[in-house]
């Protein structure tokens, strides 16, 4: 079934709505997490969803489904401090991740028919240094650090399709509260949208479509 890339583009361009619902009984079970070989930074942390678009309501709908679903067409990657969280889709489908205000988004080709999105935490971390005579004084400095997936994908080879740091992209003066990415993944092409949102009942109101990316592979 063809992806709804054109309809998604219209919703994002015209200030539409992104709604999150639960489509199936039992879908509120825990997130899919772990399973990355004990890596200290990179971890799975996502839910399975079915994405649809209502053109009449100018709405993208993310229906969460059960973890054991084999018919989901989307994943929703969550944010975890000091982690790079990932979620994968096989074949055609969608990769969504939100709550960005300075973190970094990656898109990787991790298999012949698999695309993986990464929400890499980036924020201020305390770094201890010693100063003074005999270096007896410890000073904690706040340094921005990205918890990226590069080391993991060096050990587990994959092709990076996109890297986008979001620090400085959010415009709080206009009511924007966070940023989101939505990738429409075909078998040989991924169209990725970066947009800003403000919270609303049941989801997010799109404030601004910031940028569109195309990756061919």
- Reported as a single tens digit per residue, the pLDDT across 53-98 is 999 999 999 999 999 999 999 999 999 999 999 999 999 999 999 9
pLDDT of residue 124: 63
Q: Over 60: is that where the pLDDT of 133 sits?
A: no
Q: What is the pTM of this model?
A: 0.89
According to DSSP, the residues that pair with 130 across neighbouring strands are 138
Beta-strand ranges (E) seen in 3-113 are 17-22, 32-34, 42-54, 59-64, 74-77, 84-90, 93-100, 104-111
Question: CB-based contacts of 160: which residues, under 8 Å, 6+ apart?
Answer: 106, 107, 108, 153
- What percent of the chain shows pLDDT beyond 70? 88
Which conformational region is residue 38 in: left (phi greater than 0), alpha (psi within -120 to 50 degrees), or beta?
Answer: left
Answer whether 141's CB lies under 8 Å from 127's CB. Answer: yes
Query: What does the pLDDT read at residue 35?
Result: 84
pLDDT beyond 60 at 147: yes
Any residues with CB less than 8 A from the CB of 68 and at least 6 apart, and which? Answer: none
Q: Residue 33: is its pLDDT beyond 70?
A: yes
Q: If we measure between CA atoms, which residue out of 70, 73, 80, 72 comes closest to residue 42? A: 80
Q: What are the residue boundaries of the structural domains of the chain, listed by start?
A: 5-119+148-216
- What integer pLDDT is reported at residue 42 of this predicted model? 96
């Amino acid at each position: 079934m063809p992806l709804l890339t054109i309809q998604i583009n219209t919703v994002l361009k015209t200030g539409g709505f992104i709604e999150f619902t639960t489509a199936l009984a039992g879908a509120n079970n825990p997130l899919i997490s772990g399973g990355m070989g004990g890596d200290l930074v990179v971890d799975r942390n996502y839910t399975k969803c079915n994405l649809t678009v209502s053109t009449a309501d100018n709405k993208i709908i993310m229906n969460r489904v059960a973890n054991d679903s084999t018919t989901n067409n989307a994943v929703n990657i969550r944010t975890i401090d000091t982690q790079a969280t990932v979620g994968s889709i096989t074949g055609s489908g969608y990769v969504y991740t939100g709550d960005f205000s300075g973190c970094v988004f990656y898109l990787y080709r991790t298999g012949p028919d698999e695309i993986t999105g990464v929400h890499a935490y980036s924020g201020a971390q305390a770094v201890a240094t010693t100063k003074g005579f005999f270096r007896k004084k410890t000073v904690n400095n706040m340094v921005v650090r990205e918890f990226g997936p590069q080391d993991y994908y060096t050990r587990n080879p994959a092709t990076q399709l996109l890297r986008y740091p979001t620090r400085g992209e959010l415009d709080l003066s206009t009511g924007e509260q966070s940023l989101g990415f939505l990738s429409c993944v075909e078998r040989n092409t991924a169209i990725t949208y970066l947009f800003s949102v403000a919270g609303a009942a049941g989801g997010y109101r799109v404030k601004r479509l910031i940028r569109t990316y195309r990756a061919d592979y």
